[in-house]
Amino acid sequence: MRNAQRILAALAVLGALHLVILLAGFVAPYDPAAQNRDFPFAPPTRIHFVDAYGRAHLRPFIYSLSVRSDTVNEYEEARDKSYPVRFFIQGPAYKLAGLLPLHVHLFGVEGPAQIFLAGTDGYGRDQFSRILYGGQISLAAGLLATGISLLLGLVVGCVSGFYGRWIDESAMRLVELFLVLPWLYFLLAVRSFLPLHISPTQTFLLLVAVIGTIGWARPARLVRGIVLSAKGRKYVIASRGFGASDYYILRRHVLPHTYGVLLTQAALLVPQYVVAEVTLSFLGLGLSEPAPSWGNLLANLQQYNVLISYWWMFAPALALVIVSLGYLQLANAVHELQSGSI
Amino acid sequence: MEIEETARGATTPALVRAVGLSKSYVQRAPFSQKRFVIDALVDVELEVAPASLTALVGESGSGKSTLARCLAMLEKPDGGETWFEGEEISRATDRDLALLRPKIQMVHQDSAGALNPWFTAAQIIAEPLDIQRRESGPMLRSRACELMEEVGLSANWAGRRPLEFSGGQRQRLAIARAIALKPAFLILDESLSGLDLSTQAQVLNLLLDLQKAHSLTYLLISHDLSLIGQVADSVAVMHRGRIVEHGTRQDIFTNPRHAHTRELLNSVRLVESSFRTAQAGGQQ
Amino acid sequence: MNYLERRVIHGMLLLVGVSVLCFAFGALAPGNFFDEMKLNPQISPATVAALRSQYGIDQPLPLRYGRWVRSVIRGEWGYSFAYNCPVRSLLMVRARNTLLLTTLATLLTWLIAIPLGVWTANRRGRWDDRMGMAGSALLLAVPELVVAMLLLYWVVRTHGLPVGGMVSVDFDVLGKQAKLIDLALHLVIPTTTLVLASLPLLVRHIRASVVEVLQAPFVQAARAHGIGGARLLFRYALPAAANPLSSLFGLSVGALLSSSLLVEVITAWPGLGPLLLEAAMARDIYVVVGAVMASAFFMIAGSILADILLVVADPRIRLGSL
């Protein structure tokens, strides 16, 4: 079935991406904070398979970079020595997924050459590594905030639909408000009231909490609809006749119907929230230097000279688009699957 | 208060007694001040003798289902009292209700709607046991299978879902679920309607067997007088929210006193006689 | 009191609610704002003293709120520490600019989306529809942040349009026509970004609504009568889809405002967006409240407008049979 294939494809791409980002320490060749003041704004390192003598090699290799004399930020390859790209190479220490201390990296080159797959920024920091580490922050923020929104939406939807009357009325008014709210204005305002100078961890948690309160409204409304329709079913009435508590009825008869909706909403919310975190960090109200986030990586582009000359600084945008695309495809496919089976 | 004289004994106290029950529904059109009041039950008096089969008849809209729901404690009446086993239950607290519920159970009409289509047969039957925490884990399933066998369904079908059963089998499932908690009083709300005649007979026989085996008391709600004529011990007739007549099967069928009862009986006879005429006259 | 009047009053209550919420948030915030302000070298002691007396900055919350309300009635809307002037003068100009941008973007988006949505609804399942859907899915996945940056990049490389800002430096000396052209040129990037950001979702919704309407019996009947093509689509199907589309419009206002905030910041369009951002960074609290209120006002106005459109477009509501 085409739908199932689409779901699998989307899941595969997303899964691979999330795995790579989770294992950022392993996949990234360098420490994201490591600066190379000699090589600011170096372009992405060219990978060669054919050497200066015209010989082809199976193993890709690179040349070391040297600064072109008398110019700023212009580099050329030093073709005297080639550095083969090695895999599972020993490199700077890191903690895998924040837990396991390791030295081995997926790929890299022997010093003093450096492999900058996505170029470097103004401080000479490897962008590829920063994108991977930054992905950890941005994706984690998106996923956690989605969890918060879904939980909020589930609880409000259940209580509202189940107990009805004034609880329902007031909850639905609130839902209407949140659906129409211009979220970025709301977010900026809330963020502005909170202290600007707090630790990165606190900033992150704060960010997640605030973003998570934007999008609970739509899931709440959908869950409420499901609860309302399930509430009136005869088998729910029969259940009451056996003495079932409200909680039992919600858990066994109503909740199972919500899973599909919650899944679709999750697939829609995650990319939105990742973009929200990226936007906030981009504007300077989210994660700030030196902690990498796709947002503050992209913020470099706000400088005119960076925008014009250093196209590789757009790379985090590509990662963002892939994430969005993957989740949106997943959402579409799940939605179609659902409406087909109902 | 008359104490029912049943065919079985002279002065056994009633198992269930409804005294002056009343219930109204108020419907309000949105954004308007108009209210529609529907008097579903008006001063209802009913007695059900233990181990008997009392029938409740009436046309659609007469309040039969409302009365059933009030007796099953699924709704609270606006006025009046309900007595069960000598105790007043219409104002019972939640604690008391928890103890009472297993004793009064209901089999609903629409079996497809009354059974959660996503549950398996075993889960459906085991649900009351699970809620009341009578059993747990593997014991739940084995008890459910026992009950399935008791109502004439093969335990091999325990994993099937309601829609995989026929209408008659679904009713058996619903009955199995209703007797799981070993109730004393079973309300059958149009449980035999919508079944073809042979299935009806089978389910009816099952019900009668169960009644004997477990000393159950039945309140059978139906609009099918010929069915009632076969099995009921006593009959109560409802019309527009009131019990207009109540007596033994003999009395009602041979000597109906209320105009509405006579109307009901006449319509049955009309159908029967026209059937007989069709059989006799119009046959090829 | 008819429905519209009720909605307006409801909206005003909402605005009051939003303002209370803002102040409440401000009070909840950790850190003493007033002390931080005193430490800020940009704010002169005289200003601080004046603010204290006029706005009761160091007073408890209800007092502060009361003073602010009075300031609103006076027409000042509070005081900006960073700009050293009443908030109102800032708000008016910026709000006007945002209104210009968002209104233009909305009009363009709907002007493009309606024919596109209707046309693709008609050619559902055919190859050009599928390509269109794929393209819009791709566009949907690109966040407006990226769209804005890409457009800027392209413009900068090709030197075709002015980059950022609303008017050129020598705006004032230009002739009337030149002024208009200058404004229009500056509008291109922000407007295009907004349109590209809103288009995919809108087209999809319009398409879905029209597809649904095309299945309706009265449309089938019209088709059976031989009515077809553009006439069928635009005079029969589209009006029937007006109901869901109007509610869609109401819901999209908030999202559009959010998008425009970002676009304004990136393209340096002097609207409410950059104002709010600056104020948020500088904790210029009355400006923040003012900007949020302005956006809330636009949002409410937009949804009331959507309601009016709904009543106008759908005769069933007018005649009360719905």
Choice between A53 and A230, residue whose per-residue pLDDT is larger = A230
A192 to chain C: closest CA residue: C280
Q: Inform me whether the C-beta atom of residue B249 falls under 8 Å from chain A C-beta atoms.
A: no
CB proximity A271 to C under 8 Å: yes
Residues shown for chain B: 284
Q: Do A233 and B116 touch (CB under 8 A)?
A: yes
How many angstroms away from the CA of A280 is the closest CA of chain C?
10
Starting at the edge strand found earlier in the chain, the sheet holding B185-189 runs: B104-107, B185-189, B217-222, B53-57, B234-239, B242-248
Give pLDDT, residue C43.
67
Contacts of C24 in chain A (CB under 8 A): none
C4 Cβ neighbours under 8 A, 6+ residues apart: C304, C307, C308
Average confidence (pLDDT) over B34-39: 79
The count of CB pairs under 8 A between chains A and C is 129
Indicate which of A176, A181, A188 best probes the interface with C, i.e. most C CBs within 10 Å of its own CB. Answer: A188
B139 touching chain A per CB within 8 A: no
Give how far C55 is from chain A: nearest CA, Å.
Answer: 18
Kindly indicate the confidence band of residue C264, based on its pLDDT and cuts at 50, 70 and 90: very high
Q: Nearest-CA distance from A318 to chain C in Å? A: 9
State pLDDT tens for residues C206-230.
888 888 888 888 878 887 887 777 7
Q: Write out chain A residues lying below 8 Å of C23, CB-based.
A: none
Q: Tell me which amino acid residue A96 is.
A: L
Mean predicted confidence (pLDDT) in B61-74 = 86
Q: Report d(CA C291, CA C258) in Å as an integer.
A: 12
Residues of chain A neighbouring B116 (CB-CB closer than 8 A) = 233, 235, 253
Using CB atoms, pick whichever of C143, C250, C281 lies closest to residue A324. C143
Rg value, chain A, Cα: 25
Q: Residue A283 is nearest to which of C29, C277, C298, comparing CB atoms?
A: C277
Q: What is the pLDDT of residue C40?
A: 65
Per-residue pLDDT for B124 more than 60?
Answer: yes
Residues in chain A closer than 8 A to C141 (CB atoms) = 271, 321, 324-325, 328
Residue B47's contacts (CB-CB under 8 Å, 6 or more residues apart) are B1, B2, B3, B4, B14, B16, B17, B18, B246
The residue with greater pLDDT, C70 or B149, is B149
The answer to whether B101 contacts A238, with C-beta atoms less than 8 Å apart, is no
Asked if A185 lies within 8 A of C261 by C-beta distance, the reply is yes
Q: What is the pLDDT of residues A268-325, one digit of tens each?
A: 999 999 999 999 899 988 887 778 999 989 998 888 888 888 888 999 999 999 999 9
Chain A residue closest to C149 (CA)? Answer: A301
A231-240, A303-312, C41-50, C154-163: lowest mean pLDDT where? Answer: C41-50
Alpha helices in chain C (DSSP H): 3-28, 33-39, 45-55, 61-74, 87-122, 127-141, 144-158, 176-214, 217-224, 229-231, 238-240, 242-266, 272-282, 285-313, 315-318
C262 in contact with A at a CB cutoff of 8 Å? yes
Nearest to A241 among B74, B110, B115 (CB): B74
| Chain-chain contact of A238 with B114 (C-beta, under 8 angstroms) | yes
Contact A233 B113 (CB under 8 A): yes
Of residues A241, A244, A245, nearest to B105 (C-beta): A241
Give the pLDDT confidence score for residue B229 in this predicted structure: 81
The reported pLDDT for the residue numbered C321 is: 45
**Residue B132: which of A234, A242, A252 has the nearest Cβ?**
A242
pLDDT digits (tens, 9 = 90+) for A117-136: 888 888 889 999 999 999 99
**For residue A233, what is the nearest residue in chain B, using CA coordinates?**
B113
pLDDT of residue B281: 61
A-proximal residues of C, 22-81, CB under 8 Å: 22, 25-26, 28-31
In the DSSP assignment, the letter for residue A37 is T
| Pairs of CB atoms within 8 A across A/B | 48
Interface partners of chain B (CB pairs < 8 Å, 3 or more) are A
Q: Answer whether A213 touches C (CB < 8 Å).
A: no
Task: Tell me what the pLDDT averaged over chain C comes to.
Answer: 81
Closest-CA distance, A175 to chain B, in angstroms, reads: 21
Put simply, whether B194 touches A (Cβ < 8 Å) is no
- Which stretches of chain B are assigned E, i.e. beta strand? 16-28, 35-48, 53-57, 79-84, 87-88, 104-107, 185-189, 217-222, 234-239, 242-248
pLDDT surpasses 80 at C255: yes
Q: Is the pLDDT of residue A193 over 70?
A: yes
Beta-bridged to residue A104, according to DSSP, are A90
As a whole number of angstroms, the distance between CA C278 and CA A192 comes to: 10
Higher pLDDT, C37 or A149: A149
Burial of A99 (0-12, 13-18, 19+ CB in 10 A): exposed
Shortest distance between the Cα of C300 and any Cα of chain A, in A, equals: 9
CA-nearest residue to A239 within chain B is: B128
Question: What mean pLDDT is predicted for residues C23-47?
Answer: 65
User: Is the pLDDT reported for residue C51 higher than 70?
Assistant: no
Does any CB of chain A come closer than 8 Å to the CB of residue C154? no
Determine the pLDDT at residue C191: 93
How many residues in chain A?
Answer: 342
Helix (H) or strand (E) holding A105: strand A100-108
* Nearest-Cα residue of chain A relative to residue B96: A243
Chain C residues touching residue A267 (CB < 8 angstroms): none
Distance from the A321 Cα atom to the nearest Cα atom in chain C, whole angstroms: 5
Cα–Cα distance for residue pair C242/A195, rounded to 1 Å:
46
d(C-alpha B128, C-alpha B135), whole Å: 10
Beta carbons of A103 and A91 less than 8 angstroms apart: yes
Span C191-206, mean pLDDT? 90
What proportion of chain C, given as a percentage, has pLDDT over 90? 13
C 286-315: CB under 8 A from A = 288-289, 291-292, 295-296, 298-299, 303
For the ranges B81-95, B171-185, C273-287, the maximum mean pLDDT occurs at B171-185
Q: Are the beta carbons of A244 and B131 separated by less than 8 Å?
A: yes
A223, pLDDT greater than 90: yes
Q: Kindly determine whether residue A243 and residue B106, on different chains, have CB atoms separated by under 8 Å.
A: no
Angstroms from A182 CA to nearest CA on chain C: 4
Best A242, A249, A255, A257 member to test B by mutation, with max B CBs in 10 Å, is A242
Q: What is the mean pLDDT of residues A3-19?
A: 87
**Closest-CA residue to A253 (of A214, A227, A280):** A227
Instruction: Give the residue carrying structure tokens 């076969």.
Output: B230
The ipTM of this complex is 0.84
Long-range contacts at C72-77 (CB < 8 A, ≥ 24 apart): C77/C286, C77/C290
State mean pLDDT over B78-97: 82
Report whether pLDDT(C37) > 80.
no
The pLDDT value given to residue C46 = 75
For residue A101, give how far its alpha carbon lies from the nearest alpha carbon of chain C (Å): 36
What does the block give as tokens for C99?
A: 């209104």
- Could you read off the pLDDT of A51-94 as tens digits, one per residue? 777 777 777 888 877 777 666 667 877 777 778 888 888 888 88
Partner A contacted by B101 (CB < 8 A): yes
pLDDT interval class at B268 (50, 70, 90) = confident
pLDDT of residue C205: 86
Residue A105 and residue A128: Cα distance in Å, rounded? 13
Which chain C residue lies closest to A182 (C-alpha atoms)? Answer: C254
Q: Rounded to the nearest 5°, which phi and psi values hold at C196?
A: -60, -35
Mean pLDDT of B232-252: 86
Residue in B195, B145, B150 with CA at minimum distance from that of residue B170: B195
Tell me, yes or no, if B115 comes closer than 8 A to chain A by beta carbon: yes
User: What sign does the CA torsion over C52, C53, C54, C60 have?
Assistant: positive
Cβ-contact B190, B109 below 8 angstroms: yes
Residue A236 pLDDT exceeds 80: yes
